[in-house]
Amino acid sequence: MHYPIGLLFDLLASSSALPWNITVHFKSFPEKDLLHCPSKDAIEAHFMSCMKEADALKHKSQVINEMQKKDHKQLWMELQNDRFDQFWAINRKLMEYPAEENGFRYIPFRIYQTTTERPFIQKLFRPVAADGQLHTLGDLLKEVCPSAVDPEDGEKKNQVMIHGIEPMLETPLQWLSEHLSYPDNFLHISIIPQPTD
């Protein structure tokens, strides 16, 4: 429950045919592998916690703190009820930044890899370099996970996926964050082994 379904698809089944077959078990919950969800309120609290963390990275929590409690509740209700136009009407505030800043303070991202034990990588990373140049997805990966883009033997072994697509490494990170973030406002990036077929 704590990973978005699109991320799970990228990590576990992106090379399989659609529709994705999912098996649901109603007995013997795998407590060792998954967080058990005690209630809908726990899911809402987790979602809002992620939203607040993302806003802390992007705007020092200024935007989420200026929103009213009803806006927080509406974000959750619109997402839960598949009313994405109403969700984005409020979430748009969290995706804006002053023009003079050229982007967010930091990009809220998490990098997931199927080949490591670590659940994900998350570090502070600015969308704009000190010289004013926009950082790209490739810049982020070179700093945070260099083996994903610069293999030692020169042969491409990994595929970088966001929402089921493989974005170009030259794509500005700010643009990716604004347009491909999940509803929790994080950019969830999957690094998976390159398909062999």
What CATH number corresponds to the domain at position 47? 1.10.246.190
Q: Is 149 left (phi over 0), alpha (psi -120 to 50) or beta?
A: alpha
Q: What pLDDT, on a 0 to 100 scale, did the predictor assign at position 23?
A: 76
Are 107 and 124 contained in the same domain? yes
pLDDT exceeds cutoff 60 at 77: yes
Kindly state whether residue 13 falls inside one of the protein's structural domains.
no
Q: How confident is the model at residue 130 (pLDDT cuts 50, 70, 90)?
A: very high
Q: Evaluate the CA torsion angle 34, 40, 45, 47 in order and state its sign.
A: positive
Among 26-40, 108-122, 158-172, 174-188, the least confident range: 26-40
Q: Poorest-confidence range of 12-21, 79-88, 99-108, 166-175?
A: 12-21
Which of 69, 96, 123 is the endpoint of a domain?
96
Residue 129 belongs to what domain range? 102-196
pLDDT of residue 75 exceeding 90, the answer is: yes
Per-residue pLDDT, averaged over 27-56, amounts to 86
129 contacts 135 by C-beta, under 8 angstroms = yes
Average pLDDT over every residue of 120-140? 95
pTM metric for this prediction: 0.86
Within this chain, do residues 118 and 160 fall inside the same structural domain, yes or no? yes
71 and 120 in a single domain? The answer is no
Look at residue 3 in the predicted model and tell me its pLDDT.
81
Pick the residue with more confidence: 16 or 94? 94
Per DSSP, the residues of the chain read --S-HHHHHHHHTTTSPSSPP----SSS--TTTS-----HHHHHHHHHHHHHHHHHHHHTTHHHHHS-HHHHHHHHHHHHTT-HHHHHHHHGGGG---GGGTS-SS--EEEEETTSSSS-B-----SB-TTSPBPBHHHHHHHH-GGGTS-TTS---EEEEBTTB---TTSBHHHHHHHH--TTS-EEEEEEEPP--
What pLDDT score was predicted for residue 153?
66
Tell me what pLDDT residue 43 has.
87
pLDDT confidence of residue 161: 92
Give the number of domains in the chain.
Answer: 2
Whether 11 is covered by a domain: the verdict is no
Residue 189 and residue 106 share a domain: yes
1 lies in some domain: no
